[in-house]
Amino acid sequence: MRVAFKNMINGYTGKADDSIIYYIRRTNSFYIKKRPHITHGANQDDFQAIMQNLRRLQPDFYYKEDFSFYLELYNQLPQNKYTPCNRWNNLWMKAMFGMVKLLPEIDLKTITKQDIHDQDLPCLSLKQAVDAGLLPKVKGYERFDNEI
């Protein structure tokens, strides 16, 4: 749910009742979300293992920088006007999970940087990810060729 204040309140974030309120400076908007109620299940264990492994990959600084620059161009696309992406790692996760849909034999719970290099996977560089269709094309994406 999007919240609009007549007189903008700066910096209010927190929890109220059964909701979470936060402000995103990039969109100059407050957002209210219902506080999630999470039940533990087998899917959460798999997702947790995937996220821990992806954190261990620790991409290179220039790879992250490519995603940060791409993020600005990505948010300027007309289809992303009302749903901008806030951080580079959100796009990286989108590319990684899109790669699994494209190549089901990839296991994100055990993937390493060496595996990515050896198999020449689409997530090796941002340019390869865009060429593989994991992320949308933006003007000048060809320059983002730093490897993970």
- The string of pLDDT tens digits covering residues 64-111 is 888 888 888 888 888 877 777 888 888 888 888 888 888 888 888 888
Instruction: Tell me the domain boundaries of the chain.
Output: 2-34, 42-143
Q: What is the pLDDT of residue 116?
A: 82
In 3D, which of 53, 87, 55 has the Cα closest to residue 71? 87
Asked if 38 and 123 count as a contact pair (C-beta separation under 8 A), the reply is no
Look up residue 18 and give its two tokens.
């059964």
What is the average per-residue pLDDT within 136-147? 83
Walk across the sheet containing 29-34 and list its strands. Answer: 2-3, 29-34, 19-24, 14-16
- The string of pLDDT tens digits covering residues 13-47 is 555 567 777 777 766 777 777 877 777 777 777 88
In 3D, which of 40, 57, 41 has the Cα closest to residue 108? 57
